[in-house]
């Protein structure tokens, strides 16, 4: 699976890397800059760290990120993969990763962290995300804005966080699957319909 994920971009060598993944649009709202800065702050303590950024790219924002990467000599620690044409390739990348990082602002990007959890990986999300409260209440991941500290916390206690991610993935499947969502919507429609009789 690591090999298939790496085929998307021949320059991405995932072997022996501690892969941190941020999936979703590469744009200001998704705030990949904070992910890059977090990796910059921990790269001496996690020398094999590799941040992989995947998703549709806003060219101006990507240019800004690339300039920061070059200026701070982070080329070995940050890789862009772009969009995948097949959903399976993204799933393979989720499985190859160790941590998902999502420093997203208030809106959007809510599915990607939970997809990462369902692949069995710990997640770090912004306290500004719509789902921050639910993530905190159900112990689904680390909710913070100190992404570098969270990366080190997970790295230094990886097996413990891996177990937590497994438990969180079960909660996601029991409470947030499309079947559960559809059943709840049908119940809500029935209640409304009964109330209008």
Alpha helices in the chain (DSSP H): 2-7, 32-42, 59-71, 87-96, 111-118, 132-137, 147-156, 158-175, 178-195
Average pLDDT over residues 158-180: 90
Structure tokens at 74: 């982070």
Measured CA to CA, the distance from residue 6 to residue 135 in angstroms comes to 30
pLDDT of residue 168: 95
**Confidence grade of residue 191 (pLDDT, cut at 50, 70, 90):** confident
Structure tokens at 110: 């809510």
For all residues of the chain together, what is the average pLDDT? 88
Measured CA to CA, the distance from residue 188 to residue 70 in angstroms comes to 52
């Amino acid at each position: 699976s690591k090999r298939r994920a790496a085929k998307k971009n021949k320059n991405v060598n995932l072997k022996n890397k501690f892969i941190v993944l941020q999936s979703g649009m590469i744009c200001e709202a998704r705030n990949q800059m904070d992910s890059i800065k977090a990796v910059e702050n921990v790269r001496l303590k996690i020398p094999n760290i590799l941040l992989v950024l995947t998703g549709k790219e806003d060219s101006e924002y990507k240019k800004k990120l690339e300039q920061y990467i070059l200026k701070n000599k982070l080329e070995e620690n940050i890789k862009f993969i772009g969009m995948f044409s097949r959903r399976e390739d993204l799933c393979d990348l989720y499985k190859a990763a160790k941590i998902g990082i999502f420093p997203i602002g208030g809106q959007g990007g809510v599915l990607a962290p939970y997809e990462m959890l369902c692949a069995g990986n710990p997640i770090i999300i912004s306290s500004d995300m719509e789902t921050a409260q639910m993530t905190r209440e159900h112990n689904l991941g680390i909710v913070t804005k100190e992404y570098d500290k969270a990366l080190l916390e997970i790295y230094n206690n990886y097996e413990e966080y891996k177990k937590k991610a497994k438990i969180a993935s079960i909660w996601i499947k029991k409470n947030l699957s499309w079947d559960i969502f559809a059943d709840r919507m049908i119940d809500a429609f029935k209640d409304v319909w009964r109330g209008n009789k």
